[in-house]
Structure 1
């Protein structure tokens, strides 16, 4: 029995009691009051909260519904994620068809520190208010968006502190110190990368999109371009500060409140409290980071399926290792698009890795190389160096176009299309390593081709840890994420979206188009399921209407997460869509 068979057997045994746990997975519903209800706080009570938080309480108003000058600026910046993130009334996704629309809360506390968060949590508990929390605001499920709620907005809490030798609180005497970085709940990944990589010459495992909030990504599990080398972002979590439903600020780690600490490593922090600060282990920086691009068009269906099968074989033999990450995209026009990154090897070695693939393409006239292989590398310390890219490669980045914006603000140009988008449909599934085996690869290729005929299928190779080193696997195994991630060679992503649909922005949802998009996503996902009898998936990038979501997101870890939820939030104060205990 090989390693994958052992993993499957272990999962099967551990899932036996899960159906019983699902039957009683929900906590008692906590009744909340809304504006106009008898229990809604009086103005005097709101004023007292405002005093407690130093005047940081206000009524959030969408800039698209404000005065003419403010609206004009908002329209000019509608594809600038730094601007969107600075608006307490907006979220980075403007909605999801049939599910939710971005709408502001009734009141917002712009928290500056943990004391402000404690005050807001206590106020919400005492007055039975719906409470939501927003840092980066990137949730596809709208978890930081709820009208008639009190919003705790952590945007201003973006402190970054580097540690040469960090030891978690309460650790036994003699515990080995580790290099680390501590980040406030409002920090974005560009803040982390600028401090850790550009200026300190180390690496922190984070997200690919620079404007995503650090805390939300980590507590949801967290993948970045180089996760195949270091595991998930949650796997690097050493300590967190979190305000729980009782208003207590806790410092949690493997030695203090270890059950809550484990739950924050992929169980979605919004289910358990308000995280105010996290500390992540940092890693040695390789000499180079780099990227590879290639686009291939195929003439006929048989050759298309053969190309997909060969791509899977090539990936298994040459790229399924810690050096490689990011995407292979199979679209509905029989086109393969490669957008991959590498680390720990140089440009020459990266080119050599792709030589056999190019030779194979050249043997068949059915394959046309539309965009030739391009390989480029750069010194790793410049990977998120905005000044470097503005000087040498401005075509790869987008900038914060506001006057006086911080010089470090940059995002990859390819991520700009996601800013403000209105999702029509979204689906994902981890692809188990057995699909790379000779016996199953053709069936996997056929399923991918059938799925791609409805909607392009992206294989995000960095979001599955098969091929990762033992240390990364062991660290990720000690998180709340579904164990299927350990044996997945990639996360298959299928999505469809339209333009921003914020109220007042002029964007109008075309319901028929949205419905068609949702149907195409579902048809593509259903076709892929032909080789996925069970389809665990990543909680942060999945269908809003995910079926069997407890099992799909957390599998055998769900009962343990539910136990932690009942201990730290027995009244169900923290509610998010498809959150623990909801």
Structure 2
């Protein structure tokens, strides 16, 4: 065997167990058929289903590979709204050694819960794997599978505000709440437009406007202001869901309460197909704003002092319901600050930062390479594209397709995520005791050592330490890992490359770089979690290869979730990567 052949064999060997494991997952250890296998549905079988669902079944295609749609696809492939409208694409292109975006065998463009119920019953009978997709943002690959029936809820995108909602089955005297009914196919921009821009209220949703409301909530669901308003799961009041037996159920704290609880953060697509959600809405704060800047240190020693100071400042001034979002730490002695605030005037927000700004100004070893600024706007305009356009602000961009809803906007920074090839992605909740004076220096050391391997972000809104007692109580009544209640932040360490959609000109799947990125992320994670061994992870933003994933995602809630799974889906009709089974 020559040297090149030997090297190729050595590189391939570690992948073999992984390939076998993933293939077993794809077929459900034999529960689901693959195309070409004995018993795979015939064309007549598929046509029978098509008739039952009113002709809404079709064969999804990658529009970049279809001559009839290629020109349009090339014109709009950087538009998340366009990608979300293509059942043959997903918002992420691939994940190293894990999955590649692949069209399903068939797609049902469902318009109501009965469509879903019919398809679930048919798929169980024909042993066809089901994939559920709303927004198509799953990093774990749950939005696609080659030999599957895709239950696509995009057309189920209604949003309806209600002033006095009482859950079905509630007893006499139950309190009525201001709420919003949201179809499973709605994106958060649909909800924000109706609830905030038009309705003048607040609903807790995702930062990325094209994320689907249902999958977000199933995974737990953090927004920029979760320390103030909680998680998507903790704000869920009721859901309509199709279970594995084909029944359409309305579940809440009074009807099928264990299933309802499981839907609140128990993992997207594991317990049924959500077709409608009802969320609590909140009074809208007067203002929502941002604080941003980039700070560099001239030496390693100065950077260590800076990291300690910014963490103290966060602990003392920002770890409260007014503040959320991110600080990024980089190996070139750089900190990027990108925080969001609510319920404060510009002067109050600036005052919260002033002690830190004064500290930096007094020390020449630090430089604002991107000047620090604070600015708020009336909260009602937070997702109002017209407002940004009127004021010449370019960080909100429209859905540029003819006929697109005028309110459809996405953040300019999110465009680069379309089709991304994830090299590695992992997360860890960091407990609040690390911010105490006696533990702060080990935390600083871990952050610096980790950032030298791979830069990463602390998402302060994705840990609930510092939230109000009411917010914590609601979050405690969800299926999420209870560690989130005491976490001051979620560390996300990730890297990736440009779009690898098949058919995209110039697309290159750089596996050498991916392997290097994967190694850097794993080294960074190992260094950071020395001060938080066994840290939990956030289901929706986590490692495809997460170790002890059940414990990481759900902690002490695993047994209760497993019991709900046995009750409502004993045959594992609904199975997702790293889900409850």
Q: Scaled by the length of structure 1, what TM-score is found?
A: 0.94
Of structures 1 and 2, the one scoring higher in RCO (CA 8 A, sep 6+) is 1
In 2, distance between residues paired with 1:533 and 1:220? 23
Question: Does the CA-based 8 Å contact 1:240-1:277 persist in structure 2?
Answer: yes
Question: What is the alpha-carbon root mean square deviation over aligned residues?
Answer: 1.0
Measure, in 2, the Cα distance between the counterparts of 1:345 and 1:557.
36
8 Å Cα contact 1:122/1:246 also seen in 2 = yes
| Structure 2 residue aligned with 1:156 | 155
Give yes or no for the alignment of 1:521 onto 2:518.
Answer: no
Unaligned runs of 5+ in 1: 1-27
Match of 2:74 in 1: 75
- Contact kept, 8 Å, 1:209 with 1:411, in 2: the verdict is yes
Mapped partners of 2:446, 2:437: distance in 1: 15
Counterparts of residues 3-18 of structure 1 (less than 5 Å): none
Alignment of 1:282 onto 2:281? yes
Aligned to 2:45: 45
Q: What does residue 450 of structure 1 align with?
A: 449
**Alignment partner of 1:391 is 2:390:** yes
Residue 29 of structure 1: CA displacement? 4.9
Distance in structure 2 (CA, Å) of the matches to 1:172 and 1:50: 41
Give 1:255-404 correspondences, 5 Å limit. 255-404=254-403
**Distance of aligned partners of 1:461 and 1:393 in 2 relative to their CA distance in 1, 3 Å threshold:** farther
**C-alpha deviation, 1:38, in angstroms:** 2.1
1:217 matched residue in structure 2:
216
Q: Give TM-score scaled by structure 2 length.
A: 0.94
Aligned equivalent of 2:532: 532
Q: What does the per-residue CA deviation read over 1:422-468, in whole Å, with 9 as the maximum and x for residues that have no partner?
A: 10001110111011100011110110011111111201110000000
What's the CA shift for 1:530? 1.6
List aligned pairs for 1:410-421, cutoff 5 A: 410-421=409-420
When structure 1 is superposed on structure 2, of 40-49 and 442-451 the one drifting more is 40-49
SS in 1 for 2:249: strand
Quote how far apart the aligned CAs of 1:209 are.
Answer: 0.6
Contact 1:30–1:571 (8 Å) recurs in 2: no
Q: Structure 1 residues 495, 97: closer, same or farther in 2, change over 3 A?
A: same
The question of whether the paired residues in 1 share the 8 Å contact of 2:431 and 2:483 is answered with: yes
Distance 2:171 2:392 in 1: 48
Q: Per-residue displacement from partner, 1:524-573 (whole Å, max 9, x unpaired)?
A: 11110121122101010011111111110101001100110011110111
Within 2, Cα distance between the matches of 1:451 and 1:416? 27
- Asked if 1 retains the 8 angstrom alpha-carbon contact of 2:268 and 2:576, the reply is no
Q: Can you list the C-alpha shifts for 1:505-530, whole angstroms capped at 9, x where unaligned?
A: 23121110110011111111111012
Show CA shifts across 1:84-122 (max 9, x none): 000001100111000000000001111011111111111
State the distance in 2 between where 1:522 and 1:43 align: 46
1:127 & 1:420 partners in 2: Cα distance? 32
Deviation at 1:48, TM superposition (A): 1.5
Mapping for residues 195-274 of structure 1, pairs under 5 Å: 195-274=194-273
Q: Equivalents in 1 of 2:150, 2:280: separation in Å?
A: 30
- C-alpha distance in structure 2 between counterparts of 1:47 and 1:395, whole Å: 47
CA contact (8 A) 2:385 2:397 kept: no
Runs of 4+ in 1 over 4 A off after TM superposition: none
Q: For residues 399-438 of structure 1, what are the structure 2 equivalents within 5 Å?
A: 399-438=398-437
Corresponding residue of 1:508: 508
Helix, strand or coil for the counterpart of 1:74?
A: helix
Q: Residue 293 of structure 2: SS of its match in structure 1?
A: strand
Look up the match of 1:566. Answer: 566
2:579 matched residue in structure 1: 579
Cα deviation code 1:233-268 (max 9, x no counterpart): 100000000000000000000000000000000002
**Aligned equivalent of 2:475:** 476
